[in-house]
Structure 1
Amino acid sequence: MPLSTSTSTHTAALRGTNSTLTPAQYGGDIGLLLLRCAVGLTMAVHGSQKLFGWFNGAGLDSTAGFFASDGYSAPKTMATVAGLTETLCGLGLAIGLLTPLAGAGILGIMLNAIAMKWGNGFFSPAGIEYELVLLTAAVSLALAGPGRFAVDHLLPVPRAHRLSHGITAVALGALSAAVVLVALHN
């Protein structure tokens, strides 16, 4: 069913342009919104499990013990940073706030998770497939941008997503993961 002119015009007005959206553009933006919410809220729940023990999570002390058992120095700091990154970047991704940076944060977390599970094969329950899917989705969102239905479009900065922002953020996320692995993992 085609979009009505009033709906298209209203949506375009939210973007700050005079153009109308095609059904394909509208569908693409809804798809990005759904992907952002699925990945972002999944990560936010995982972060709250680490930080607060919510949703049957381990809590900060148990998560710190897990990091210690895997050879990370400063395990309490690692648990706190991982929990905060998952929670804040997850929520940012879900609402489309600083989307490339939120995706980069999730990339960094997932690269560390993959490194921890690397010898366990690809498939679940102990493999890397789940982490790889989240990593790929986060990188895809960082590169593609949040779509039109995002807080990023309300910020007083350039509203048009630039691929260069996404590439820079992804490089930053990968670099931060490498620094953590080299400096803090024994």
Structure 2
Amino acid sequence: MNSPDVTLSDSPTSPHTPRSRAAAPPAADSSTGLDTGLLVIRLVVGLSLAAHGTQKLFGWFDGNGLDGTEQFFASVGYPSAGAMAVVAGLTEALGGLGLALGLLTPLAGAAVLGTMINAIAVTWDDGYLSPDGFEYAFVLAAAAGALALTGPGRYAVDRALPVLREHRVSHGVFAVTLAAVTATVVLLMRS
């Protein structure tokens, strides 16, 4: 007979192995490590995108500003290139800041993902690897999509928002779907 301190394991490989009832909770370091890792990814990806957005909008960090960005969008076939330059710059800047802060993370991830899908399409013919390929946009898209799906972790503004305090995969799936649909519509407008 089992003593009160021991129960049978529910492991399928050893159904009769005794173990203590007071099993140790998962180590705090594992969740802290996960949350810290998500914070690092959010900061690197988010601030990189925010910087790219300010290059487009204001010409900061040796960027082309709105005029240069408009010319680029016109050269790759986007209609209303001036409006597209503003939309791309705002989407990168605000989506990037949202990721960095962990603010409305699924939507911030969707904003970045949709923009990067367009960047991948524009550079597709240049191959995968840099300097002209789409690898950088692909990595940013993957990171943004993953953050939309996983949520921001504990160190995020979303934790203070009742609706997003507990991240749900459905929020991420909706955000990734929204990004894909929006990016597709924008790409279909290209000539």
Task: Report the TM-score range of the alignment, normalised by the length of the smaller protein.
Answer: 0.7 to 0.9
The structure that is helix-richer by fraction is 1
State TM-score, norm by structure 2: 0.85
Corresponding position of 1:175: 181
Are 1:65 and 2:71 counterparts?
yes
How much has 1:148 moved relative to structure 2? 0.4
Which structure 2 segments of 5+ residues have no match?
1-24
Give the one of 135, 140, 147 matched to 2:153.
147
**Cα offsets for 1:127-154 (capped at 9, x unmatched):** 1111110000001100000000000001
**Cα offsets for 1:72-107 (capped at 9, x unmatched):** 110000000000000000000000000011001001
Cα distance in 2, alignment partners of residues 26 and 158 from structure 1? 19
How much has 1:156 moved relative to structure 2? 2.9
How much has 1:109 moved relative to structure 2? 0.4
Where do residues 1-186 of structure 1 align in structure 2 (5 Å cutoff)?
22-183=28-189, 185-186=190-191
**Alignment root-mean-square deviation, CA:** 1.3
Cα distance in 2, alignment partners of residues 158 and 87 from structure 1? 22
Cα distance in 2, alignment partners of residues 20 and 154 from structure 1? 24
Segments ≥4 residues shifted beyond 3 Å:
none
State TM-score, norm by structure 1: 0.87
Q: Sequence identity, in percent?
A: 59
Change (3 A) 1:150 1:20: farther
Change (3 A) 1:116 1:158: closer
Range with greater deviation from structure 2 (125-134 or 149-158): 149-158
Cα distance in 2, alignment partners of residues 148 and 36 from structure 1? 12
> What amino acid is the match of 2:180?
A
Which structure 1 segments of 5+ residues have no match?
1-18
